[in-house]
Chain A
């Protein structure tokens, strides 16, 4: 157990180090608490390795309280590389650890294909609209 805690501390330490030497992230993430169960993160801009600090800060803000689901709104997503997909995997692990669910909506056809080929769609629920995603998150 102690060893595991050490591993998690390692993750936190690395995240902090990265934030310090992080070049400017071309992304903004606004957090909206839709109801007691669901928070929405509006992603606007580029999802790359540089977005790690912004994404994790947004998640910390969004999961405040007893939220059961985090919904990522990708309507404003302009660019994503493989590091961006990696960030979503590490976010998903954190969300699952907190016994929450990660859902998305607003993905264009192109980004839906990327979710499909990387098989993120096996674990992250994809919805057409915010209403559907919020309903699924509250269920």
Chain B
């Protein structure tokens, strides 16, 4: 495609691919989120994490429901806090909704960025400090017998050594229960009551020891430190206020 520039010269313009509006734009760090452990952080994929790489797929067939995949994904995206069980406080959707590039905050602990969103799927990517480094894709498709299938698909590693240590101690189970519950809720929303099928595969059993330093962003550690140092900040603030009032007292 060629386009006329203001100077009258023709320049080559690449045609926009069909997926152009589905992807988030590149940002070096997440800004303007006002979220602790999110603001100023970089997003991370499964290649940047520390632990073993896991592919987890949770799937439910919406037997008896007539909703096509696009309708399922639209409802899932619009009611994500409710259907995931996180609630409005546990998953704070930004004002513009879950559009590509938007950042949703997970309680006061971390957040996720919408990496990709189209009619039949949407994907979250995690920031540094989140328990997992990777992507989670929610999608729906039609099976061979024309039944709509809803699916959550994760490609993740534990972000740092502490989270990796916690994986067999309950973090794996917590993750599985969260997305199994979400899919049950999606099925119930469309009046279907089917079993959730779970497939877990260790894609890469190697730990990436070069990424051990990711622990400096660990949201759990930083949040705990924040709570512990609250009295110190309170004292400092009191000191600053009394200092200011002394100055104002001529």
* A108 to B118 alpha-carbon distance, docked (Å): 20
A119-B137 contact in complex given A82-B121, A83-B153, C-beta closer than 8 Å: no
| B205 partner, pick from A7, A83, A109, beta carbons under 8 A | A7
Contact B17 A78 (CB under 8 A): yes
| A86 partner, pick from B143, B144, B153, beta carbons under 8 A | B153
Residue-by-residue, is B16-43 near A (CB-CB < 8 Å gives 1, otherwise 0)? 1111101111110000000000000001
Judge if A114 is at the interface, Cβ distance under 8 Å.
yes
Contact B45 A118 (CB under 8 A): yes
Judge if B46 is at the interface, Cβ distance under 8 Å.
yes
Inter-chain contacts of A122 with B (CB < 8 A): 47-48
Contact B16 A110 (CB under 8 A): yes
Contact B144 A21 (CB under 8 A): yes
Contact A93 B204 (CB under 8 A): yes
Task: Give the size category of A's interface with B.
Answer: 20 to 34
Judge if B132 is at the interface, Cβ distance under 8 Å.
no
| B55 partner, pick from A21, A90, A109, A111, beta carbons under 8 A | A90
Q: Which of B22, B24, B46, B199 has the most CB of A within 10 A?
A: B46
* A81 to B18 alpha-carbon distance, docked (Å): 10
Judge if A138 is at the interface, Cβ distance under 8 Å.
no
Residue-by-residue, is B114-139 near A (CB-CB < 8 Å gives 1, otherwise 0)? 01101001010100000000010101
Inter-chain contacts of B83 with A (CB < 8 A): none
Judge if A34 is at the interface, Cβ distance under 8 Å.
no
Judge if A129 is at the interface, Cβ distance under 8 Å.
no
Inter-chain contacts of B47 with A (CB < 8 A): 89, 92, 119-120, 122-123
Residue-by-residue, is A98-111 near B (CB-CB < 8 Å gives 1, otherwise 0)? 00000000001111
Contact A80 B48 (CB under 8 A): no
Contact A79 B155 (CB under 8 A): no
* A80 to B22 alpha-carbon distance, docked (Å): 10
* Size of interface on B: residues with Cβ below 8 Å to A: 39
* A10 to B23 alpha-carbon distance, docked (Å): 31
A119-B53 contact in complex given A82-B116, A86-B135, A113-B25, C-beta closer than 8 Å: no
Judge if B140 is at the interface, Cβ distance under 8 Å.
no
Contact A81 B116 (CB under 8 A): yes
Specify the chain B residue showing the minimal Cβ separation from A15.
B201
Judge if A117 is at the interface, Cβ distance under 8 Å.
yes
Contact B19 A119 (CB under 8 A): no
Chain B: minimal CB distance from A98 (Å): 13
- Give 26 A-B contacts (CB < 8 Å), ordered by A residue: A4-B205, A7-B202, A10-B201, A11-B201, A11-B203, A14-B201, A21-B144, A79-B18, A80-B19, A81-B22, A81-B118, A82-B135, A89-B46, A90-B155, A93-B203, A108-B14, A110-B23, A111-B17, A113-B26, A114-B23, A117-B24, A117-B25, A117-B26, A118-B115, A119-B47, A122-B48
Which residues of A approach B to under 8 Å, CB–CB? 4, 7, 10-11, 14, 21, 78-83, 85-86, 89-90, 92-93, 108-111, 113-114, 116-120, 122-123
